[in-house]
């Protein structure tokens, strides 16, 4: 058939097993061309595993295969072609005889066929893949008791190194289908093996760690292959498989632009990819120095690894150098201080004198004496970051992972201040849903803004939303077009008139209920002459309670991706994250902060 056909329990098992064996051999410093392999089980999966290992360099002469009748040896007779290909020239007739001195045991047979006594006779640092399910050929505890230096994999999820077919099956088909492959050949399988093995050596992702109880995951004897919840499987395996299909001549629709293909895969992994793509492209084109307060946090360091890998910014980390280096080592990250990022250690800050004096000059008439200024510049990461940004030692700031939002915004306003012409700062969150992006404002800063403040906030938000999509604005209330005369409803109606005076061409309407904002049909039942067409994408709320509650409820109900809070109206690029921010959100906010810094630099050049 001229379509790809793939037996998951056969070839899928072979791919995952081969990747595990490949990485295990690298850990024990053994050459696959020289190791001896003994298998128990000569069915379809067992033969497929051996065929793939041969493709990686295993020598057929170093393989002994056992089935239910013992060793498959030359002269045994009545062997099918697959078994005959592995008939060994050996005096061994049983598994216990064959296993002596073996480097690798591969089991795809039944429970209990391998004993601790047999394991003791294996070579130093033996590799044992006992894959029978639900009970393996030997339980890991028994194998470890016999040989503490053994590296062990099973087919079970309650032990390390689970050989799980889901690690490759959907992704190998993604790559095959994307290039119109007519088959899944050996070259594609080997490419998948190598990509899997390489991925296990990479720093693990936050999503993978969170899925497994936040336990440290580092390449080693108990982590030979990625786990099923690793999102980067979709980013790496299809790409490797697609390239192999093209190189081996079975692709009918070759990919012309692999960078674009990688972007497409990324969008499948991170639903924020499509809407954020233009921001990422701009950020990469002109990297800026982004300051990260609270940089000792795990999520922040995960994000920094992604920022460095993607080339989004030049990071400047505020935190204790020793602690940052320790956390990087614990997490198994590849980033390195001084090479990949700068560290500003509050205990050894080269800008300390300049910072505290600047802070005292700014706040000295507001009760901040020299001693208090010194203490805050030595202990408050957000204060340090904001001062570094103000003094020009960075281009943008991200803070807020620790502590309350009000403290951070107060420090930022005290040190950075507002942009010229701005009276009211605001915080806006973007929620990426299956129906497109929704923007909520103001979620964090203004508890109960006036009509004038809402008008200011709306125009700031419109400017920011325009980076992503054409703004379609709804001013929300529990009233629609004058149906209630409460102070909150009148406030939103008044804000609408103020906005229209300042931006007469803006697609905006209100006051209206939330359902009317998202449904033109419902809106038309109340008012037939609305300037707003279709669904609104920027929702302006009457107060912070409404905005924050709406955003967080919809985030959970829709399982949407949240980006933000995006701080609006500051004199320099700075954003305050929330304590719930994920590493992915920090990466997204880094891209936004970098573009903010680019636009700020452009504004300075023009003025």
pLDDT in tens, 271-308: 555 677 778 888 988 999 999 999 999 899 999 999 99
pLDDT in tens, 369-393: 999 999 999 889 999 999 999 999 9
pLDDT in tens, 533-551: 888 899 999 988 888 898 8
* C-beta separation of 455 from 559 below 8 A: no
Angle, vertex CA 367, rays to CA 364 and CA 369, nearest 5 = 60
Predicted confidence at residue 267, as pLDDT, reads 64
pLDDT band at 101 (very low <50, low <70, confident <90, very high): very high
| Nearby residues of 251 by Cβ (< 8 Å), 6 or more positions away | 179, 180, 181, 242, 245
H helices present in 519-558, as ranges: 520-526, 544-558
CATH number assigned to the domain covering 426-569 = 3.40.50.10750
For residues 208 and 194, which has the higher predicted lDDT (pLDDT)? 194
Q: What order of strands is seen across the sheet that includes strand 151-154?
A: 70-71, 63-67, 37-40, 104-107, 127-130, 151-154
pLDDT in tens, 149-165: 999 999 988 888 999 88
Q: Judge whether 8-247 and 426-569 match in fold.
A: yes
> Over 70: is that where the pLDDT of 217 sits?
no
Predicted confidence at residue 214, as pLDDT, reads 45
pLDDT, mean of residues 449-455: 93
Three-state DSSP class for 509?
A: strand
Q: DSSP letters of 89-135? A: --S--SHHHHTTT-SEEEE-S-TT-S-HHHHHTSPSS-EEEE--SSS
- Compute the distance between CA of residue 121 and CA of residue 99 in angstroms, rounded to an integer: 7
Phi then psi for 364, rounded to 5 degrees? -60, -30
Predicted confidence at residue 205, as pLDDT, reads 61
- Compute the distance between CA of residue 236 and CA of residue 346 in angstroms, rounded to an integer: 39
Predicted confidence at residue 579, as pLDDT, reads 86
- Compute the distance between CA of residue 533 and CA of residue 472 in angstroms, rounded to an integer: 8
> Over 70: is that where the pLDDT of 476 sits?
yes
Q: Residue 296: how many CA atoms within 13 Å on its side-chain side?
A: 12
- Compute the distance between CA of residue 224 and CA of residue 227 in angstroms, rounded to an integer: 9
pLDDT, mean of residues 197-222: 69
Predicted confidence at residue 4, as pLDDT, reads 84
| Nearby residues of 223 by Cβ (< 8 Å), 6 or more positions away | 160, 161, 200, 217
State whether CATH 3.40.190.10 applies to domain 8-247. Answer: no
pLDDT, mean of residues 316-330: 93
Phi then psi for 275, rounded to 5 degrees? -70, -30
- Compute the distance between CA of residue 232 and CA of residue 268 in angstroms, rounded to an integer: 11
Q: Provide the CATH topology of domain 284-415.
A: Rossmann fold (3.40.50)
Predicted confidence at residue 206, as pLDDT, reads 55
Angle, vertex CA 555, rays to CA 550 and CA 561, nearest 5 = 135
> Over 60: is that where the pLDDT of 207 sits?
no
- Compute the distance between CA of residue 433 and CA of residue 415 in angstroms, rounded to an integer: 35
pLDDT band at 259 (very low <50, low <70, confident <90, very high): confident
Least-confidence region, from 21-25, 176-180, 216-220, 331-335: 216-220
> Over 90: is that where the pLDDT of 325 sits?
yes
Domain map (residue ranges) of the chain: 8-247, 284-415, 426-569
* C-beta separation of 495 from 475 below 8 A: yes
pLDDT band at 190 (very low <50, low <70, confident <90, very high): very high
pLDDT, mean of residues 421-433: 89
Three-state DSSP class for 372?
A: helix
* C-beta separation of 427 from 442 below 8 A: yes
Q: DSSP letters of 358-371? A: HHHHHHGGGT--HH
pLDDT, mean of residues 209-213: 52
> Over 50: is that where the pLDDT of 213 sits?
no
pLDDT, mean of residues 509-514: 84
Q: To 10 degrees, what angle do helices 381-390 and 370-379 make? A: 100
> Over 50: is that where the pLDDT of 19 sits?
yes
* C-beta separation of 9 from 43 below 8 A: no
pLDDT, mean of residues 93-120: 94
């Amino acid at each position: 058939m001229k379509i790809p056909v793939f037996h998951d329990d056969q070839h899928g098992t072979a791919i995952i097993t081969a990747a595990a064996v490949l990485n295990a051999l690298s850990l024990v410093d053994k050459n696959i061309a020289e190791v001896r392999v003994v298998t128990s089980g000569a069915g379809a999966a067992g033969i497929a595993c051996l065929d793939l290992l041969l493709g990686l360099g295993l020598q057929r002469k170093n393989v002994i295969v056992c089935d239910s009748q013992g060793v498959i040896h030359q002269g045994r007779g009545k062997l099918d072609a697959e078994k005959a290909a592995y008939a060994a020239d050996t005096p061994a007739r049983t598994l216990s005889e064959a296993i002596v001195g073996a480097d690798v045991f591969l089991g795809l047979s039944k429970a209990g066929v391998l004993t601790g006594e047999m394991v003791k006779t294996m070579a130093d640092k033996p590799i044992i893949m006992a894959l029978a399910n639900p009970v393996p050929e030997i339980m890991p505890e028994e194998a470890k008791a016999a040989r503490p230096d053994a590296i062990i994999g099973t087919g079970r999820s309650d032990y390390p190194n689970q050989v799980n077919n889901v690690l490759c099956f959907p992704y190998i088909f993604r790559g095959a289908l994307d290039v119109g492959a007519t088959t899944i050949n050996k070259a594609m399988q080997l490419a998948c093996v190598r990509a899997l093995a390489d991925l296990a050596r990479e720093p693990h992702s936050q999503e993978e760690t969170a899925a497994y109880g936040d336990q440290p995951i580092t390449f080693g004897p108990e982590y030979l292959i990625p786990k099923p919840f690793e999102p980067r499987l979709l980013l790496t395996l299809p790409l490797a498989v697609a390239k192999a299909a093209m190189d081996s001549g079975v692709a009918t629709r070759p990919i012309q632009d692999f960078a674009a293909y990688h972007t497409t895969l990324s969008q499948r992994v991170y639903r924020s990819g499509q809407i954020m793509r233009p921001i990422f492209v701009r950020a990469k084109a002109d990297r800026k120095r982004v300051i990260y307060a609270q940089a000792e946090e795990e999520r922040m360091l995960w994000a920094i690894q992604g920022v460095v890998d993607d080339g989004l910014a030049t990071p400047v980390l505020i935190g204790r150098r020793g602690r940052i280096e320790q956390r990087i080592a614990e997490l198994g990250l590849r980033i390195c201080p001084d090479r990949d990022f700068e560290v500003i250690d509050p205990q050894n800050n080269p800008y300390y004198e300049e910072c505290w004096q600047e802070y005292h000059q700014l706040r000295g008439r507001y009760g901040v004496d020299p001693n208090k200024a010194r203490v805050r510049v030595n202990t408050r990461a957000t204060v340090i970051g904001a001062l570094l940004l103000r003094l020009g030692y960075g281009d943008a700031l991200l803070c807020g992972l620790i502590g309350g939002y009000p403290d951070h915004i107060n420090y930022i306003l005290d040190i950075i201040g507002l942009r010229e012409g701005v009276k009211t700062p605001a915080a806006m969150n973007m929620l990426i849903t299956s129906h497109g992006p929704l923007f909520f404002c103001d979620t964090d800063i203004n508890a109960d803004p006036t009509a004038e403040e809402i008008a200011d906030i709306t125009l700031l938000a419109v400017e920011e939303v325009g980076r992503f999509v054409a703004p379609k604005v709804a001013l929300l209330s529990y009233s629609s077009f004058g149906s209630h005369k409460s102070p909150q409803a009148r406030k939103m109606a008044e804000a609408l008139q103020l906005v229209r005076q300042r931006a007469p061409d803006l697609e905006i309407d209100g006051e209206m209920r939330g359902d009317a904002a998202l449904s033109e049909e419902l809106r038309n039942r109340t008012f037939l002459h609305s300037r707003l067409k279709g669904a609104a994408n920027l929702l302006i709320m009457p107060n912070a309670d409404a905005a924050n509650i709406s955003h967080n409820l919809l985030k959970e109900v829709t399982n949407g991706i949240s980006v933000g809070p995006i701080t609006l109206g500051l004199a320099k690029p700075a954003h305050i994250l929330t304590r719930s921010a994920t590493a992915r959100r920090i990466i997204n906010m880094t891209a936004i902060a970098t573009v903010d810094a680019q636009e700020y630099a452009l504004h300075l050049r023009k003025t």
